[in-house]
Structure 1
């Protein structure tokens, strides 16, 4: 099948009619019919049964559509990448970060960057790591921040700063009465847990199970920020990344590093085959400084 055959076949399967496919592809109905006929001729089989002027996909067409739909999504991604390159969007710095890092690290870094490059455009966005990887590969972002190394062959991951998972203990709780590292075995206050799909939360649970004291949570949340807010409200205690911990209100929360230590790395993510522009490299420097300042505030 040629690329044009694939486009027409996919459009017909989506629209269900020749006329609908013609609208999707912005071509005439006779053109759609001609391409479909040529496609079927080359394949040596019919893709649609014609009954009273309507098209009904054959079993072979339905099986073929499963693979062609995957290919079509790749083609859409290629077109988006080409459009970004054509529009010159790659000339501006486009930074994406997970929500936690967007709040904790980016504002301080952007303050310095804007002073250094007052005339340079920049776009900021937040997303989850899986979507961040897609944006980098498609050329929709230049650099990104995440607490997770996606281990993708097309993504370069560089550690900008490192800390460790930290317990947030509401003032007045038994855990807040002491200082120093907090063993999971000593947790008695109700624990606000993170969703099971969170990589760092899984590391914490694995560490607790290794000690024979698996952590149990009646309340689970999807974001570190919500977990922190619940602790500040006195609902319970939690274990979060150090960047979220640094933003906690010390008038309501006591901070204690978790024992055994669970390391947390702040990763700079970039496309492996896309070198950064000078202004973007400068922003990386400011991001690293902001992250390290953030971690140092844990000790003040």
Structure 2
């Protein structure tokens, strides 16, 4: 099938009539009929049954429509991109972040970047790192930020900021003179919130505890650091979180974990896809927001 065949077929499937398809496509009814007949001739089978002047899609037409729907969406995206390029606008920037960074770092980064690029469209999505890798490889995102280097051959990881895992606790847990001073794994007493088994930073925390013969028991296990922070804010115990999550809350006490467990914030891109000017500036804004977050009192 040629592209014109697909456009006409898709329009007929959407509106159900030759006349409606002609209106959608801004062509005459005879032109729609001619293209449909040519498509059916090439396929060697009818796509519609004509009953009392009405078109009824065949089972083959329904199967074909499921596939042409994907192509139709792609064509719409191409048309929007062409229109934006004609107007000298930067194409849509698609940024993906892990849930933690989307809440703790990106709001400030986006706000600062938007002042420089007020008219540029930006789509922000949240996924975990494994999903992010697939999106970058498939061209479904322009770049991403994560606390993990996936070490994938098709992904370039650039470190933007460096911090350390931080212990957070409800207000009043420590005396003022203790707050801000390092805390060893032995000090992780009481209710400690844990992370799902597939969290690499959580595994490093457990390893650090076990190295000092401390064996934490996690009665509450979560998937994200911001959920752990919310539980701590509600008095649900202590947690060891990334520095960006720790710095983004004013309702917890913070202490660095000792020995330190380093955390990097990475910019992830597909190796074959250079960033546009607008995307690069957004990545720079993320780096600046991350460094500002780490400069919060009590985070050094």
TM-score by length of 1: 0.67
**How much does 1:71 deviate?**
2.3
Which segments of 5 or more consecutive residues in structure 1 lack a partner in the other structure?
none
Cα 1:30/1:151, change in 2 over 3 Å:
farther
Secondary structure of 2:55 counterpart = strand
**How much does 1:6 deviate?**
0.9
Cα 1:273/1:122, change in 2 over 3 Å:
same
Q: Which residue of 2 aligns with 1:191?
A: 193
Q: Which residue of 2 aligns with 1:3?
A: 3
Alignment of 1:16-55 (within 5 A): 16-55=16-55
Alignment length, in residue pairs?
Answer: 282
Q: Which residue of 1 aligns with 2:85?
A: 85
C-alpha separation in 1, matches of 2:73 and 2:161: 36
Cα 1:215/1:78, change in 2 over 3 Å:
farther
TM-score by length of 2: 0.67
Secondary structure of 1:90 counterpart = coil
C-alpha separation in 2, matches of 1:31 and 1:148: 55
CA contact (8 A) 1:165 1:264 kept: no
Which segments of 5 or more consecutive residues in structure 2 lack a partner in the other structure?
none
Deviations 1:138-180 (Å, cap 9, x if unpaired)? 8xx9766454668899875422123344442224559x99943
C-alpha separation in 2, matches of 1:36 and 1:258: 72
C-alpha separation in 1, matches of 2:261 and 2:281: 32
Secondary structure of 2:21 counterpart = helix
RMSD of aligned alpha carbons: 4.7
C-alpha separation in 1, matches of 2:274 and 2:229: 36
C-alpha separation in 2, matches of 1:225 and 1:203: 16
CA contact (8 A) 1:157 1:269 kept: yes
Q: Which residue of 1 aligns with 2:200?
A: 203
Cα 1:186/1:104, change in 2 over 3 Å:
closer
**How much does 1:56 deviate?**
2.0
**How much does 1:213 deviate?**
6.4
Range that drifts further, 165-174 or 236-245 = 165-174
C-alpha separation in 2, matches of 1:158 and 1:262: 16
**How much does 1:201 deviate?**
6.8
Q: Which residue of 1 aligns with 2:241?
A: 240
Q: Which residue of 2 aligns with 1:288?
A: 287
Alignment of 1:122-133 (within 5 A): 123=120, 126-129=124-127
CA contact (8 A) 1:90 1:142 kept: no
CA contact (8 A) 2:94 2:142 kept: yes
